A and B are shown apart, each in its own frame.
Chain A
Amino acid sequence: MTDGVQPPDVALGAAPQATEAEERVSLASNWKLIWWRFRKHRLAMASCAVLILLYAVVLVPDFFSTQDPEASVASQAFIPVQRLSFLDGWRLSPWVPTITGRRNPVTLRMEWQADPSRRVRVHFLTRGYSYRVMGLFETDMHLLGTSPGSQNLYLLGTDRLGRDQWSRLMHGTRTSMTVGLVAVALSVVLGALLGGISGYFGGWPDLTIQRLVELLQSLPTIPIWLAMTAALPQDWPPQKVFFAITIILALIGWTTLARELRGRFLSLREEDFVLAAELAGCSRARIIARHMLPAVTSHIIATSTLAIPVLIVSETSLSYLGLGIRPPAISWGVLLQEAQNIQTIANAPWLLIPGVVVIVAVLAFNLVGDGLRDAADPYGH
């Protein structure tokens, strides 16, 4: 372990002569130590890559889309998933089979046939519909696409209105991942503020805040969320609904965090370094901000990473029930609304794919959160 190149295990005992590597450990900042420990969790590192990819989609969903997510062509409804092949013979040249629709004379349903002998070439970094990148500049560059004039690309098939599911999934990713992140950020601010006050001051502020937390925690979460979102006016624009939902999720979500932080602050208050700071004449605000908060920051980050997936699942469930994000806005839950009844799923099982993405995202957040929590724990093995 002490090969000098790799940073050694942090829990090494004191050696009589400090080697170069040990010196690095003893001089490393807390964050560096956490990073070294976190790097050892291979699953957590892989999940990190998944999350970075997802947030890249959040930044520029249009770049990853192949078509306008709202463009609906009724004649192109329920096209199944197109298989993307990367090799043409032995040459690297991605293609998808041509699909042709034929109406079944008995059931009157469109039946789509893939014809691998007629290949549609797929280009990387190609031109498509134009969009604005984060509201800054306009471009028409897309990651994937077919040449103009040839058949459209339906990587994940189409829904009942003939909208391309892949492109809609990219836009849904933006909404759902943002809801989780913003709601957790709000919860952290609320939870850290109230939990910190509660734990540091004790007395009546503590009592009031604890009763409030208990009150909110004994509410039946999902029914209350539903009642609150049902109370949002029907004629609100999508952005306003989005922010309202985020605030509603955060309003109940902050309690767990506040509770944990209170516990941490209670035990930290007894530590010698806080007493030392008090004796040195530091103000309360300074003690909290300079000495106590840094000691719990890593814990806050780990806990909030674990809170994001819970909120993502909540948003998805609410939207699935029709009381969360509403169309025309797109989120994972809105996409899954297309798979409401068993007949639709049996005919078009690819409509469940957004659900798989939900599971992958939640899994990634959980693994990263677990890794962070272990890495942030100075007494861990």
Chain B
Amino acid sequence: MLRVVLQRLVLLPLLLVVFSLAVFALVQAPPGDFLTSYISMLAASGSTVDQAQVEALKRQFGLDQPFHVQYVKWMQNLLRGDLGLSLEYQRPNAELIGDYLLLTVLLALCSFVFTWIMAVPAGIYSATHPRSALDYVLTVLNYVGVATPNFMLALILMWLAFSRFGISITGLFSPEYVQAPWSTARVVDLLKHIWLPMIVLGIAGTARLTRIMRANLLDELNKPYVVTARAKGLSEWRLILKYPVRVAINPLVSTIGWYLPQLFSGSLIVATVMNLPNIGPLLLRSLVSQDMYLAGAILMIYCFLTIVGTLISDILLAWLDPRIRMER
């Protein structure tokens, strides 16, 4: 157990170095840099560009230096916990990302919990009542849930809420709380808003997990040990929850490894459509405006979240399943 965790922790910095190289190469890749697009934007709006100011900016951000020098400088700052300055906003990236990061993680975790709370009971019901009416309904819902892109679901829900009830369901806060400091009232307001993006983000995963749970449990229910337990007079619910469910849930736990990271990056699209305070839309804007240090910082955060998500699931799996613990 401890060895699994240690192994992963040793690999983590190595992985981050490889990712940081890839990320830096990616944000550097577009032809031209922020200044060229900034200058052409200024020129398009009719204002003149002061050449001396451009040179000063170029030097300040090190845009005139070769790739490896820029990378080493960027990496050194990252290691010191300095995410750098945004070219577009002329403010520290850490300040821009600020609360957004917390809310991004919170949304993903909420969706994750929602998925499990919905998927496991639904899967158990479907498997214990195969071919019942509700089982068919759930199966149809699952297929549609998997097939619907989550931005489509967000659009449809927003449209229904707007046209039926005349309310606009965007953002995570009511207007009066958007800029307010953290307080109990603000948290309550957040909880009032977060459920809808949570469902939108989690629905596809719920559908997939329900299907896996149903199939696994159906396989288990036919095994002799279930018959034995039943013959010994165990009550049906206790029997199912105590033995086959525990076996059937194992493959589900192993999906956490890709599911949690998927929620982090999936929230990017939902957040853009629903206008949520999230690092996703910020990344999108920085990519379009070639604000490379901001884009690089956010991409590194995504990589970090993904690695941590995988790590958590590995630890969980080793803790839940003794067979995996023994193997290593």
A309-364 residues at the B interface, CB under 8 angstroms:
309, 313, 316-317, 320-323, 336, 339, 342, 345-346, 349, 352, 355, 358-359, 362-363
Given contacts A223-B283, A352-B155, are A359 and B148 in contact (CB under 8 A)?
yes
Residue of B nearest to A345 (CB): B159
B96-132 residues at the A interface, CB under 8 angstroms:
none
Judging by beta carbons under 8 Å apart, are A342 and B26 in contact? no
Task: Report A183 CB to chain B, min CB distance, Å.
Answer: 16
Judging by beta carbons under 8 Å apart, are B143 and A218 in contact? no
Given contacts A227-B299, A317-B151, A355-B152, are A222 and B268 in contact (CB under 8 A)?
yes
B271-328 residues at the A interface, CB under 8 angstroms:
272, 280, 283-284, 287-288, 295, 298-299, 302-303, 305-307, 310
CA distance A260 to B205 in the complex (A): 21
Number of interface residues of A (CB under 8 A): 37
Task: Report A187 CB to chain B, min CB distance, Å.
Answer: 17
Which residues of the partner chain A approach B272 to less than 8 Å between Cβ atoms? 321
Judging by beta carbons under 8 Å apart, are A358 and B299 in contact? no
CA distance A215 to B152 in the complex (A): 30
What band does the interface of chain B fall in when counting residues whose beta carbon is under 8 Å from A? 35 or more
B162 lies within 8 A of chain A by Cβ: yes
Judging by beta carbons under 8 Å apart, are B265 and A221 in contact? yes
Task: Report B112 CB to chain A, min CB distance, Å.
Answer: 16
Judging by beta carbons under 8 Å apart, are B18 and A215 in contact? yes
Judging by beta carbons under 8 Å apart, are A358 and B30 in contact? no
Q: Mark A22-39, 1 if CB is under 8 A from B, else 0.
A: 000000000000000000
Judging by beta carbons under 8 Å apart, are A223 and B268 in contact? yes
B177 lies within 8 A of chain A by Cβ: no
A228 lies within 8 A of chain B by Cβ: yes
With most chain A CB atoms within 10 A of its CB, the pick from B149, B284, B302 is B149
Residue of B nearest to A232 (CB): B30
Judging by beta carbons under 8 Å apart, are A321 and B144 in contact? no
Judging by beta carbons under 8 Å apart, are B283 and A218 in contact? no
A219 lies within 8 A of chain B by Cβ: yes
Given contacts A220-B265, A226-B268, are A342 and B152 in contact (CB under 8 A)?
no
A367 lies within 8 A of chain B by Cβ: yes
Which residues of the partner chain A approach B146 to less than 8 Å between Cβ atoms? 362, 366
B253 lies within 8 A of chain A by Cβ: no
Task: Report B137 CB to chain A, min CB distance, Å.
Answer: 16
A130 lies within 8 A of chain B by Cβ: no
Residue of A nearest to B159 (CB): A345
Task: Report B223 CB to chain A, min CB distance, Å.
Answer: 16
A231 lies within 8 A of chain B by Cβ: yes
Given contacts A321-B272, A358-B149, are A223 and B15 in contact (CB under 8 A)?
no
Which residues of the partner chain A approach B262 to less than 8 Å between Cβ atoms? 221
CA distance A235 to B146 in the complex (A): 36
Contact of B151 among A227, A309, A320, A367 (CB under 8 A): A320
B173 lies within 8 A of chain A by Cβ: no
A217 lies within 8 A of chain B by Cβ: yes
Task: Report B36 CB to chain A, min CB distance, Å.
Answer: 12
A233 lies within 8 A of chain B by Cβ: yes
Taking A220-B303, A317-B149, A359-B149 as known contacts, 10 extra A-B pairs with beta carbons closer than 8 A to each other, sorted by chain A number, are A218-B306, A219-B22, A220-B264, A220-B302, A220-B305, A226-B283, A231-B26, A321-B269, A336-B151, A352-B155
CB<8 Å pairs between A and B, sample of 5: A222-B269, A320-B151, A345-B158, A352-B155, A362-B148
The 9 closest A-B pairs by CB, nearest first: A231-B29, A220-B302, A230-B287, A362-B147, A222-B265, A220-B265, A363-B147, A355-B152, A227-B26
- Which residues of B are interface residues toward A (Cβ below 8 A)? 15, 18-19, 22-23, 26-27, 29-31, 143-144, 146-149, 151-152, 155-156, 158-159, 162-163, 168, 170, 258, 261-262, 264-266, 268-269, 272, 280, 283-284, 287-288, 295, 298-299, 302-303, 305-307, 310
